[in-house]
Every structure is written in structure tokens, then in C-alpha cells.
Amino acid sequence: KLNGKNQYSIYRTELDGEQAKQSEEMVKNLEQAIESDQIDVYYQPKIDAKTEDIAGFEALVRWQHPELGIISPGLFVPLAEQSGLIHKIGLLVIEKAARCLKAWQTRYELPLTMSINLSPIQLNDNRLIDRISYVINQTGIQAKYLDFEITESEKFKSVKDALVMFNRIVDMGCTLSIDDFGTGHSTLDYLRKIPAKTLKIDQVFVKNIGLSPDDEAILDATIDMAKRVGHFIVAEGVETESQRQYLSHKGCDYFQGYLFSRPLPATKIEDILDQRAQI
Ligand code: C2E
Ligand code: CA
Ligand code: CA
Ligand code: CA
């Protein structure tokens, strides 16, 4: 029995060693990727539920690897958070997204908005506020068109400090959205304390429309509650017409999902906006 345990721990150590080496290697690669401009941003349209117009976009980071192709954030954002590279990557995303948004607003004369995901790790650094404000000045974008998507997380050094940051972001004139609501750590207490305008319903609940009566009940209650406290509601992961109809009937304000568009590179978004402008 003892022996078995020892073998297990040796095996564990070797495995952890191997994994540590691998992620060290990947952190190096990621550092190089940042330097050589392989970090790119895709944009997913956010659709106004009533008019079906494009109201804005969510910026979603991508790693354009020269050999491996596009690497999705699920694979490198956690590593970026652990290594601290998320501060640089996050800033890159804010800069690129704000620059694109300004160009599109000017070219199409539309009051488009841009939602940018903030990692809880980014909120542990006080310099974030100065950097956002620098980007706003540099690009000439109006702060009110920049929205930051946040999740509640155990990764905050202190929830109190995070709340201070949230208020500073709002004081700058930007808006906040609570992402992935209904899963993980986002709680009702969070909803009360955070100066957010929008609540994003996690795609799990959208996926289960018509499939899980329990999830449907939670979805209905969430939408009802969000409306009562005066929040806008974005439903994400909308893939089917029946999901759209259900959510529209319940009073969702905005949709995101493959039914409308996948996240796309800036040039593809411009093609879509060009087409819409001609109608
Ligand atoms: P998220 O913020 O919840 O983003 C929504 C994810 O759902 C995106 O995955 C998007 O491509 C995907 N999605 C959108 N519509 C549909 C749909 O109809 N069906 C399905 N199945 N999926 C849909 P993505 O781009 O791979 O991003 C994954 C996560 O990575 C994001 O989840 C977010 O937590 C994180 N992330 C992405 N970009 C950034 C970033 O710039 N900074 C930080 N800190 N995190 C980011
Ligand atoms: Ca998001
Ligand atoms: Ca989400
Ligand atoms: Ca998510």
C-alpha cells in the first residue's frame, strides 16, 4: 500500500515536471508572439433584438500562430494569467479594439459599441485605469462606447479593491457588463454591488432552451430579475431561430451567437458593415 502511494507520487512529480517544462516553453512562445504581433483580435457582432441591427461588438483575442494557425483564448489566456502576460495582451486588445471601433464609427457613422473582456488578474493592477484612459485619448473614442466585461472570480486579490477599480472605470465614462451570469462565481450579491449596466446570460442556459426545464426556469428568473433591477440583457451563444424567438419573447435586449455571426477578423467585419451600409 505504502509502495503504491510512493510510486504514485513519483509519477506525479515527473508528470508535473514535464508539464511545468511545457508551460515554461509556451510562456516563452507567447512572449515572442506578443513581440512579433501574432496577437490578433476577432470581433463578434452584438445584435439589437428589436431592430436586428448591429449594435456593437465583443472583442475576442486570438493567437495567430505561424505554424499552428489560430489558437483560441481558452488555450492561452489561463497561461497568460498565470505568467502575468495577460497585462500586455489585455492592453493590446484594448488598443486594437478601440482603434477599430473609432474607424468604424467614423466610416459608417454609427454609434457602435465595443465590449472588451477583462481578466480578474488585470484588475489587480492599478495602472489599468491610466492605460485605458491613455487609449481613449489616443484613439479619440468616446468612453461611453467602451464596455468592459467582467466576471466574478476567486482570482481577485481583494473583492473590495476590484470594486474600487469597477467604480473608476465607470467614473471614466465606460460601462460594465457582468459576463457568464448564472455560472461560476457570479452571485446575486455581485449583481447588487457592481455598477454594471448589462448582464450577459451564459450560453449554457441558451443551449438548454427547450431541453432542460430547470435551466429554462433559471433563465426566465434571471431575465426577469435583471429587468427589474434595470439591467440590459445580452444572450450569448444564440445558435437557432427557436432560441432567438424564445429570448426575444422574454425580453432580451441583445443577441450574440453563430445564428448571426461568428467572431470575425476586422476585415470581414468591414465587409459586413459595407454590405449593410448599401441597403
Ligand atoms: P466569453 O467571454 O464567454 O466569450 C464567448 C465565447 O463564446 C467566445 O469564445 C465566442 O467565440 C463563443 N461563441 C460566441 N457565439 C457562440 C455560439 O453561438 N455558439 C458557441 N458554441 N460559442 C459561441 P472564444 O472567443 O473562444 O473565447 C473564450 C473565452 O476566452 C471568452 O469567453 C473569454 O472568457 C476569454 N477571452 C476571449 N478574449 C479575451 C480577452 O481579450 N481577454 C480576456 N481576459 N479573456 C478573453
Ligand atoms: Ca465575454
Ligand atoms: Ca460569456
Ligand atoms: Ca465564458
Q: What HEC string does 80-129 produce? A: HHHHCCHHHHHHHHHHHHHHHHHHHHHHHCCCCEEEEECCCCHHHCCHHH
One pLDDT digit (tens) per residue for the chain, 279 residues: 444 545 555 555 666 778 788 888 889 999 999 999 999 999 999 999 999 999 999 999 999 999 999 999 999 999 999 999 999 999 999 999 999 999 999 999 999 999 999 999 999 898 999 999 999 999 999 999 999 999 877 777 788 888 999 999 999 999 999 998 877 666 777 788 899 999 999 999 999 999 999 999 999 999 999 999 999 999 999 999 999 999 999 999 999 999 999 999 999 999 999 999 886
Q: Which residues, including other chains, have CB under 8 Å from residue 46's CB and lie 6 or more apart?
A: 54, 55, 56, 57, 58, 113, 115, 234, 254, 255, 256
The pLDDT value given to residue 60: 98
Tell whether pTM > 0.90.
yes
Per-residue pLDDT at 153: 75
Q: Quick one: cell of 103?
A: 474607424
Kindly give the distance from the C-alpha atom of residue 256 to the centroid of ligand 3, in angstroms, as a whole number. Answer: 10
CA of 73 to the centre of ligand 2 (A): 11
How far is it, in rounded angstroms, from Cα 6 to Cα 116? 47
> 131 CA to middle of ligand 4, Å?
25
> Is residue 72 lining ligand 1, measured as CB closer than 6 Å?
yes
Q: What is the pLDDT of residue 11?
A: 55
Q: What is the pLDDT of residues 110-147, one digit of tens each?
A: 999 999 999 999 998 989 999 999 999 999 999 999 99
How many other CB atoms are there within 10 angstroms of residue 244's CB atom?
22
Neighbour tally for 52: CB within 10 Å = 12
Q: Tell me how far apart the alpha carbons of residues 35 and 29 are, in angstroms, rounded to a whole number.
A: 10
The atom of ligand 1 lying closest to the CA of 259 is 18
Enumerate residues with CB within 5 Å of ligand 3 (an ion).
179-180
Ligand 1: does its nearest atom lie under 6 Å from the Cβ of 93? yes
pLDDT at 1: 44
Dihedral sign, Cα of residue 199, residue 204, residue 205, residue 209:
positive
Q: Is 44 in the pocket of ligand 1 (CB under 6 A)?
A: yes
Looking at ligand 1, which residue's alpha carbon is closest to its atom 15? 257
> Distance from the CA of 175 to the center of ligand 1, in angstroms?
19
Provide the Cα torsion 262, 77, 147, 35; round to 10°: -100
What value of ipTM does the predicted structure carry? 0.97
